[in-house]
């Protein structure tokens, strides 16, 4: 029986709206936001930010250079976080039930310090629960220094958490991120972006 579940964050745990951030930056004077970020691809500077190669201040300063003159760092950060739509209460219920049923829960996310901080702050405020307390461990790409779908980041999680891949489930809303863990022996679930994770109750108790 599988005993560990590794969740992607955005689109699986956290609801997201990638189109919103593009609209916000277009309103701030960015000529083509799609060159910087989208659901399926992003610019080198975003990738560098997500792997910890550049600092938050460097990233924000760069975005300011491609927006209208006079845009503040605070405005850029607010716009950058508009794609984050929160964690539904029913998701927390599912996570608690899975833990009660003996599952080890993890998060593996391609993300950056700004989004991680915002997600955690909102989660703590809205649900009065510490985000990290819901999982055995949370793996952020900017802390690990690697991004999905690089094989190495999945292997890092398996090694660090001492997980048997044959006993693990990995859930992601991007199909491109499932090929590597499948090769490593994990059962992979292609999750529809922002869909409920309620269906985990059904198969998790029969695997």
Q: Which of 57, 82, 107 is the last residue of a domain?
A: 82
Q: What is the pLDDT of residue 42?
A: 64
pLDDT, tens digit (0-9, with 9 covering 90-100), for 160-200: 999 999 999 999 999 999 999 999 999 999 998 888 787 76
Domain span including residue 164: 4-15+86-203
pLDDT in the model for residue 40: 44
Say yes or no: 182 and 114 in one domain. yes
**Structure confidence by residue, pLDDT tens digits, 8-33:** 999 999 999 988 998 999 999 998 88
pLDDT of residue 33: 83
Are both 105 and 193 inside the same structural domain?
yes
* 92 lies in the same domain as 140: yes
pLDDT of residue 194: 83
Question: Are 78 and 90 in a shared domain?
Answer: no
Is the same domain home to 98 and 193? yes
Same domain, 100 and 166: yes
Segment among 18-27, 114-123, 127-136 with least mean pLDDT: 18-27
Q: What was the pLDDT predicted at 38?
A: 54
Q: Which of 43, 65, 82 is the last residue of a domain?
A: 82
Same structural domain for residues 63 and 160? no
pTM, 2 dp: 0.93
CB 171 within 8 A of CB 8: yes
51-98 tens-digit pLDDT? 999 999 999 999 999 999 999 999 999 999 999 999 999 999 999 999
**CA 207, CA 72: separation in Å to the nearest integer?**
51
What pLDDT is attached to residue 12? 96
Q: Which of 39, 67, 82 is the last residue of a domain?
A: 82
Considering the domain architecture, whether residues 126 and 95 belong to the same structural domain is answered as: yes
**Same domain, yes or no: 92 and 189:** yes
Number of domains in the chain: 2
Instruction: Quote the pLDDT of residue 25.
Output: 93
> Are residues 161 and 108 part of one domain?
yes
CATH number, residue 48: 1.10.150
Q: Do 95 and 77 share a structural domain?
A: no
The domain that holds 122 is classified in CATH as 3.40.50.1000
Give the model's pLDDT for residue 31. 87
């Amino acid at each position: 029986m599988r005993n560990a579940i590794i969740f992607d964050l955005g689109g699986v745990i956290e609801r997201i709206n990638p189109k919103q951030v593009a609209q916000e930056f277009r309103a701030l004077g960015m000529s083509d936001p799609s060159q910087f970020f989208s659901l399926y691809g992003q610019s080198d500077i975003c990738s560098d930010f997500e792997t910890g190669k550049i600092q938050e201040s460097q990233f924000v300063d760069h975005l300011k250079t491609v927006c209208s003159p006079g845009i503040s760092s605070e405005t850029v950060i607010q716009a950058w976080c508009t794609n984050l739509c929160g964690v539904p209460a029913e998701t927390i219920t599912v996570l608690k039930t899975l833990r009660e049923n003996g599952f080890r829960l993890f998060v593996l996310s391609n993300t950056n310090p700004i989004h991680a901080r915002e997600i955690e702050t909102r989660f703590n405020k809205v649900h009065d629960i510490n985000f990290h307390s819901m999982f055995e461990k949370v793996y952020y790409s900017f802390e690990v220094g690697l991004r999905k779908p690089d094989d190495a980041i999945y292997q890092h999680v398996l090694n660090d958490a001492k997980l048997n891949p044959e006993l693990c489930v990995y859930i992601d809303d991007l199909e491109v991120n499932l090929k590597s863990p499948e090769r490593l022996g994990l059962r992979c679930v292609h999750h529809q972006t922002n869909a409920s994770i309620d269906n985990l109750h059904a198969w998790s108790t029969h695997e």
